[in-house]
Amino acid sequence: MPKSDLAGPTEPGSALNSALWRGVRRGMAPIIRSPWWFRIGLLYVLTRFISYLIFAAAALHQGANPWFEASPGYLNFIDIWDSQWYHRIFDDLYPQQLPRAEDGSPQENTWAFYPLFPLLVKALASLTGGSWGALAPLVATLAGLAASLMSYALFRLFASTVTATWAVAFLLTFPISPILQVPYAESLNLFLLAAALYLVIKHRYLLAMPVVLLSALSRPVGLAFALFFFLHLLLRMLPAKDFEPRKPQLSATQLLSALALLLVSALAAFAWPLIAWWVTGDVAAYTGTEAAWRGGGPLVLFKPWLDSSTSLLGSVLGPVALLLLIVAFVLYFNSRAVRRIGIDLRLWSLSYLLYLFAVLHPQTSTFRLLLPLFPFALATAFISRSKAFRSAVVVFFILLQIVWVVWLWAWAPLPGGGDYPP
């Protein structure tokens, strides 16, 4: 059969596809040529609208709950769970005396929640006269925009504009990314954390000091950051090796500023427990409150993970599963894609994971606590340059957003009472 006979029937479709792609390219050209901050901002608005639709759809099916009537509006629906604790801080600040159970142990109270986000909203309310319900989601959403822009700037230190943009897309569609627009401190902390990492990597240690302090007062990331910066400084002080001849050496001025930042990081890590002690007069005000949220009892480092694995899978399969999880992470951490994000982002991710592994009691909130591992979004973008792969990741993440909102954010009573927290 002649070649022209084979090609003929497919030519109209090929021509149509080519015309469509040319149209898409022409339509996208102004966006592609626009400033980076406009592109990332547009991506942020689009992804927040998608999350808004997911929230709004879930709210329509929300039944009776501890906070509002059934089928609440969007702003009411996102102002639940921990947002209500931040709202209490906005209204009444922190108690000078801890609420206690009959045995004298602290009960759940607002000292478990860090102050920067609710106090920022309170300051804006005093200036504008706005309410918590209006200002808190606005502040969280704007902080999420700032976090997106800062994350892109950070990713650009290691990747091209295209790969960095895809990495931000992964971050903004990650299954728990709807948290960036609800009255939680996560979006504000993400912005401060990205800024602190950027400044450290650029060796602007003095500028990083106030950012690190504010970050440690927004979410409990201070200990992890202090460990990360200690490792960063230790690495910089080690002699350069043959395979890293361009490693910048510390000058005397840089060393002094780095040591100052190390001191500030260490103080910031313990700032909130010290403030709680100073206000209440109880040295264990913060740690005792945290213990109440865990169900009471002293914290034994690393033990909660073993206890949870044993509780879920038994005394044999539980520890085996935990060991396999650790092995899987070690393999992933040493993969080619993760190595490409740079030693500092790897050190931060390792430090934060060690912190979680040491103190966290695994539960459904663990998914939300993974947000500070956002550098892995860049590692995901490094896995493949295929548009099909990257697009599939975004679609998969958006589908998992629906799962997260419907399963964990929407409230449904468990047989024994209460519900799994997001």
Looking at residue 32, what is its pLDDT? 67
Looking at residue 297, what is its pLDDT? 78
Lowest mean pLDDT among 20-24, 61-65, 165-169: 20-24
Question: Is 250's pLDDT higher than 90?
Answer: no
**Cβ neighbours, 10 Å, residue 52:** 15
Q: What is the mean pLDDT of residues 140-149?
A: 98
Question: Is 24's pLDDT higher than 60?
Answer: no
Task: Flag whether 349 is in a domain.
Answer: no
Question: Is 315's pLDDT higher than 50?
Answer: yes
Task: Flag whether 74 is in a domain.
Answer: yes
Characterise 94 by phi-psi region: left (phi > 0), alpha (psi -120 to 50), beta (else).
beta
Q: What is the mean pLDDT of residues 46-64?
A: 97
Question: Is 2's pLDDT higher than 50?
Answer: no
Question: Is 136's pLDDT higher than 80?
Answer: yes
Task: Flag whether 304 is in a domain.
Answer: no
- Confidence grade of residue 6 (pLDDT, cut at 50, 70, 90): very low
pLDDT digits (tens, 9 = 90+) for 364-380: 999 999 999 999 999 99
Residue type, 95: P
Looking at residue 5, what is its pLDDT? 39
Selection from 116, 123, 355 nearest residue 214 by Cα: 116
Lowest mean pLDDT among 109-118, 203-212, 305-314: 305-314
Q: What is the mean pLDDT of residues 92-106?
A: 91
Mean pLDDT for all residues in the chain: 91
Residues 199 and 178: their CA atoms lie apart, in Å, by: 27
Q: What is the mean pLDDT of residues 208-220?
A: 98
Question: Is 14's pLDDT higher than 80?
Answer: no
**Cβ neighbours, 10 Å, residue 62:** 21
User: Which residues, at least 6 apart from 289, have a Cβ–Cβ distance to it below 8 Å?
Assistant: 98, 106, 108, 109, 111, 112, 276
The predicted model scores a pTM of 0.92
Task: Flag whether 101 is in a domain.
Answer: yes
Looking at residue 17, what is its pLDDT? 59
Task: Flag whether 317 is in a domain.
Answer: no
Task: Flag whether 309 is in a domain.
Answer: no
Lowest mean pLDDT among 251-255, 372-376, 399-403: 251-255
Looking at residue 294, what is its pLDDT? 81
- Confidence grade of residue 63 (pLDDT, cut at 50, 70, 90): very high
Residues 345 and 3: their CA atoms lie apart, in Å, by: 54
Looking at residue 22, what is its pLDDT? 66
User: Which residues, at least 6 apart from 264, have a Cβ–Cβ distance to it below 8 Å?
Assistant: 209, 212, 213
- Confidence grade of residue 1 (pLDDT, cut at 50, 70, 90): very low
Looking at residue 211, what is its pLDDT? 98
pLDDT digits (tens, 9 = 90+) for 215-241: 999 999 999 999 999 999 999 888 766
Task: Flag whether 16 is in a domain.
Answer: no
Structural domains counted in the chain: 1
Dihedral sign from CA coordinates of 87, 93, 408, 405: positive
More confident residue, 243 or 327: 327
Domain with 83, as residue range(s), is: 36-240+249-294+374-409
Looking at residue 3, what is its pLDDT? 41
| Cβ-contact 199, 208 below 8 angstroms | yes
Q: What is the mean pLDDT of residues 242-254?
A: 67
Task: Flag whether 2 is in a domain.
Answer: no
